[in-house]
Amino acid sequence: MIKVLAIVGPTAVGKTELSINIAKAFNGEVISGDSMQVYRGLDIGTAKISDKEKQGVPHFLINIRDIGQRFSVADFVVEAKKKIKEISQRNHLPLIVGGTGFYLQALQDGLNLGGDKYDSTIRNNLLAELKNKGPLSLHQRLASLDLQAANNIPANNSRRVIRALEVFLKTGHKFSEQKQLNQNEPYDFFIIGLNTSRDILYSRINKRVDIMMADGLLKEAKLVYQELSPDKQAAKGIGYREFFPYFDGKIDLNKAVDNVKKDSRHYAKRQLTWFRNKTKPVWYDVILHHEEKKQILADISNWLCDKK
């Protein structure tokens, strides 16, 4: 089995610094598990690692999309699997580092998009559309949202067309991505979770936003505001969307910055809930307990020596 190390945790908890230390100690190469760091030009608001901070450690899945492009969970799974294979063939350790828990879960477990339960409102609306406009209209709608699924599903197979539309309308992910997500690989994961006290974490988040503002976050947010419609993936990112009302003249700048801090704190809370429930990492606090950095290295060494 291929050994894959993952470092997860809320924003501003120290994942990047730890990942560099681990990569240098164990010949590691980093695969970003962050849904926003894929975008070129969005450096400040995504807390993207700088070339200096990398200290020569190779990083992948950063700056691989223009800001108007989509990057789905299936895209991540396909690209991450490719990089894991390449890194492992170099006899180096693949590290998944990032705060987008859905990405790691999809890579680790596979996901059935939309699950087995359907949304009765969505289905009833689609059935009404089928009755009123006919199967060709539904199929054309699917083609506009998920061309690959439309090419694979005949227009007269209304049941499958409706199911494919349901998945997209319910989850925002393409039905054609399901197969890619469910092709699991024999990985041996060790998942490190970073956390600290809530007061310290929230203070670090607030301070990080202040630093981002000093580094030019407003200019970066203005680029997103001018270039993208609000429905684009990059425009939904925390650190960007909060400034849109400011650019529209509806709130002042201090309020916008406060909203970035508030949304970042709420996101950190959701991240912790997700990781606890979905990925079940081994938790460490390297902020309050510096000695745990040595414990992490020891635990990794033991895991690497465990042949599976």
> Domain limits of the chain?
2-111+182-305, 120-179
| Tokens 């164990």 found at | 26
What is the rounded distance in angstroms from the CA atom of residue 164 to the CA atom of residue 172? 11
Strand duo 93-97 + 28-32: pairing: parallel
Cα distances (Å, whole numbers) of residue 221 to 85, 176, 260, 265, 292: 36, 32, 11, 19, 37
How confident is the model at residue 185, as a pLDDT?
74
295 band by pLDDT with thresholds 50, 70 and 90? very high
Who wins on pLDDT, 172 or 246?
Answer: 246
The overall average pLDDT reported for the chain is 92
Domain 2-111+182-305 sits in CATH 3.10.110.10: no
Please check the confidence at residue 143 and state whether its pLDDT lies above 70: yes
Mean pLDDT of 153-167: 89
What is the distance of C-alpha 201 from the center of its chain? Answer: 20
Q: What percent of the chain has pLDDT over 70?
A: 95
* Residue 285 identity: D
Q: Do domains 2-111+182-305 and 120-179 have the same CATH topology?
A: no
Mean pLDDT of 37-66: 97
pLDDT digits (tens, 9 = 90+) for 93-137: 999 999 898 899 889 887 655 555 567 888 899 999 999 999 999
pLDDT digits (tens, 9 = 90+) for 189-243: 999 999 999 999 999 999 999 999 999 999 999 999 999 998 888 999 999 999 9
CATH class label, 120-179: mainly alpha
How confident is the model at residue 114, as a pLDDT?
55
Lowest mean pLDDT among 9-23, 53-67, 99-113, 250-264: 99-113
Lowest mean pLDDT among 82-86, 89-93, 152-156: 152-156
Q: Please name the residue ranges forming H helices in 3-154.
A: 15-26, 51-54, 73-89, 101-109, 120-133, 135-145, 147-152
How confident is the model at residue 179, as a pLDDT?
61
How confident is the model at residue 169, as a pLDDT?
86
How confident is the model at residue 117, as a pLDDT?
55
Please check the confidence at residue 182 and state whether its pLDDT lies above 70: no
186 band by pLDDT with thresholds 50, 70 and 90? confident
For residue 231 the two structure tokens come to 């429905």
User: Do the beta carbons of residue 185 and residue 2 sit within 8 Å?
Assistant: yes
How confident is the model at residue 106, as a pLDDT?
87
147 band by pLDDT with thresholds 50, 70 and 90? very high
